[in-house]
């Protein structure tokens, strides 16, 4: 009796087989996605559809990345989000890498998958043929040898055994090779990792800086405003106490002053709390909170909002602060007759735009508001753009990554 096939080998075969068969499916899908991308490139009218095709390519690549990561039990880092415009897509290195990967996968994945499935199919087909040849006079084996007698049927059976034996021999190394090449092609290039690391280190430093600045601002607000007012409350209450001992009627003005100082302290405290995370955001969400800002703007303001997913609180607070700064600037510096605010999520980023039709000429270096927004946004890995030529108009645009 033959020695039993070790379980390890069978397991390796079935794992490799599954990987290659799934790869056959995604390899065929890769052909469709690549054709779609090409179709977008050829006629200029369909060029605006390119970002959508690139996102489909990214989704398929992400599927492959997850599959490779699962089989290798490693994390394959994902590239940054696909840009929103066709021009940016064409210039994007990560999109080009997606396309290169899909091209290789369309050919290699499909061929490797066909090789993998040919083992069981060849085995089954030849066995069926060896048993049913009298029903098919023109039957031939998968290697094209005729099966018209029982000895020839024996040959078909041997062939089936060869297919069955070759599968476990060929499939696992083929799967391993395909897995490694896919992993190498899917991993982000080393330079981009180095760049990314430098960027992360810088934004992390900016985050710490922004955090420290924010703490200092809160500490200053508490110290200069509220603490001073509370000191006044204590002083006036002390005076009231002393007055009470002598002449209760003379104590009244001190109590009233202490009362008004306590009221002021409370109002200051509310303002500080609101500046940390405006409660209107928690109560009504970003879109409505921004509409509230627009309603109170002294320059007429319209707000357009796309569908917003759940956005992290820090990002919401930064976006809200950016809109508040943009509206205040438009009212204070621009002489604009109208302001437009736009909120939306595009390509994995929350994009906030505040534009006014005023005189322009905004310069970050001349004030503290815009540079504060930039620090806050950069700390969240976002970007700030300010277009404000002399004569206007002015556009303030922030974009902050949000989890998909
Ligand atoms: N929308 C705008 N239109 C015209 N000028 C602007 C606008 N926003 C800002 N500026 C100019 O840019 C400078 C910097 O703005 P900002 O950083 O917000 O500082 P500030 O604290 O003075 O508001 C302002 O002092 C102003 O001169
Ligand atoms: Mg300002």
Burial class (CB in 10 A: 0-12, 13-18, 19+), 300: exposed
Q: Which atom of ligand 1 is nearest to the CA of 330?
A: 1
Give me the pLDDT at residue 4, please.
46
Looking at ligand 1, which atom is closest to the CA of residue 372? 17
Q: List the residue whose alpha carbon is closest to atom 6 of ligand 1.
A: 362
Instruction: Please name the residue whose Cα sits nearest to atom 10 of ligand 1.
Output: 362
The b/e string for 332-353 (b: 16+ C-beta within 10 A; e otherwise) is ebbebeebbbbbebebebbbbb
The C-alpha atoms of residue 361 and residue 166 are separated, in whole angstroms, by 74
**Ligand 1 centroid to residue 329 C-alpha, Å:** 5
C-alpha 365: how far from chain center: 31
CA distance 36 to 53: 6
Residue with tokens 């799967």: 175
Longest dimension (CA), the chain: 130
Report the distance separating Cα 324 and Cα 330, nearest Å: 10
Residue (of 352, 270, 349) closest to 305 by Cα position = 352
- For residue 11, CA distances in Å to 5, 7, 17, 364 come to 10, 6, 10, 63
Return the closest-CA partner of residue 106 out of 136, 148, 144, 61.
Answer: 61
Among all ligands shown, which has an atom nearest to the Cα of 373? 1
What are φ and ψ of residue 245, in 5° steps? Answer: -65, -35
By the 8 A CB rule, do 257 and 238 touch? no
Nearest CA to ligand 1 atom 20: 367
Q: How far is the CA of 299 from the centre of ligand 2 (A)?
A: 15
How many angstroms is it from 346 CA to the middle of ligand 2? 27
Q: Indicate if the alpha-carbon torsion angle 139, 145, 147, 153 is positive or negative.
A: negative
283 alpha carbon – ligand 2 mean position (Å): 26
Q: Residue 361 Cα, ligand 2 centroid: separation in angstroms?
A: 13
What pLDDT tens digit does each residue of the chain (404 aa) get?
344 445 577 788 888 899 999 999 999 999 999 998 888 887 777 777 888 889 999 999 999 998 888 888 777 777 777 887 778 888 888 888 889 999 999 999 999 999 999 888 988 988 888 888 778 777 777 777 777 778 888 888 888 899 888 888 899 999 999 999 998 888 877 767 777 787 777 777 766 766 777 787 788 888 888 899 999 999 999 999 999 999 888 899 999 999 999 999 998 888 777 677 788 888 888 999 999 999 999 999 999 998 888 888 888 988 999 999 999 999 999 999 999 999 999 888 899 999 999 999 999 999 888 988 888 888 778 889 999 999 989 999 999 988 76
Residue bearing tokens 């024996």: 154
**Is the N-terminal amide bond of 187 cis, ω within 30° of 0?**
no
| Residue among 328, 338, 366 to mutate when testing ligand 1 (max atoms within 8 A of CB) | 366
pLDDT at 1: 37
Give residue ranges with CB within 6 A of ligand 1.
325, 329-330, 333-334, 356, 358-364, 366-371, 388, 394
CA of 368 to the centre of ligand 2 (A): 7
Atom of ligand 1 nearest to the CA of 328: 23
Ligand nearest to the CA of 389: 1
Query: Separation of 212 CA from ligand 2 center, angstroms?
Result: 21
């Amino acid at each position: 009796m033959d020695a039993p096939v070790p379980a390890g080998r069978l397991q390796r075969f079935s794992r490799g087989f599954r990987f290659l068969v799934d790869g056959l499916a995604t390899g065929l899908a890769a052909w469709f996605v690549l054709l779609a991308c090409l179709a977008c490139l050829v006629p200029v009218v369909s060029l605006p559809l390119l970002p959508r095709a690139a996102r489909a390519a990214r989704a398929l690549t992400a599927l492959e990345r997850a599959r490779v990561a699962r089989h290798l039990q490693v994390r394959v880092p994902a590239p940054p989000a696909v840009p929103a415009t066709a021009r940016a897509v064409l210039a994007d290195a990560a999109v080009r890498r997606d396309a290169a990967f899909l091209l290789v996968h369309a050919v290699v994945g499909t061929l490797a998958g066909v090789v993998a499935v040919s083992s069981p199919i060849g085995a089954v087909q030849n066995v069926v043929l060896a048993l049913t040849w009298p029903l098919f006079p023109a039957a031939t084996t998968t290697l094209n040898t005729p099966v018209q007698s029982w000895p020839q049927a024996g040959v078909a059976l041997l062939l089936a055994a060869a297919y069955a034996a070759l599968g476990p021999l060929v499939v696992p190394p083929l799967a391993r090779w395909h897995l490694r090449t896919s992993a190498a092609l899917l991993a982000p290039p080393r330079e981009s990792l180095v760049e990314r690391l430098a960027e992360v280190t810088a934004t992390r430093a900016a985050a710490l800086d922004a955090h420290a600045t924010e703490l200092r601002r809160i500490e200053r607000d508490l110290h200069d405003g509220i603490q001073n007012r509370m000191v006044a409350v204590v002083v006036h209450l002390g005076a009231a106490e002393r007055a009470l001992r002598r002449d209760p009627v003379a104590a009244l003005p001190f109590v009233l002053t202490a009362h008004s100082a306590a009221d002021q302290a409370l109002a200051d405290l509310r303002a500080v709390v609101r500046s940390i995370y405006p409660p209107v955001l928690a109560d009504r969400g970003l879109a409505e909170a921004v509409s509230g800002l627009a309603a109170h703007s002294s320059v007429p303001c319209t707000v357009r909002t796309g569908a917003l997913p759940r956005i992290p609180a820090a990002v919401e607070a930064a976006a809200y602060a950016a809109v508040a700064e943009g509206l205040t600037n438009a009212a204070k510096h621009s002489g604009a007759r109208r302001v437009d605010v736009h909120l939306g999520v595009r390509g994995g980023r929350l994009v906030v735009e505040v534009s006014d039709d005023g005189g322009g000429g905004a310069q970050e270096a001349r004030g503290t508001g815009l540079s504060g927004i930039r620090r806050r946004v950069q700390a969240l890995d976002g970007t700030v753009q300010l277009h404000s030529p002399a004569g206007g108009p002015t556009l303030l645009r922030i974009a902050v990554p949000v989890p998909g």
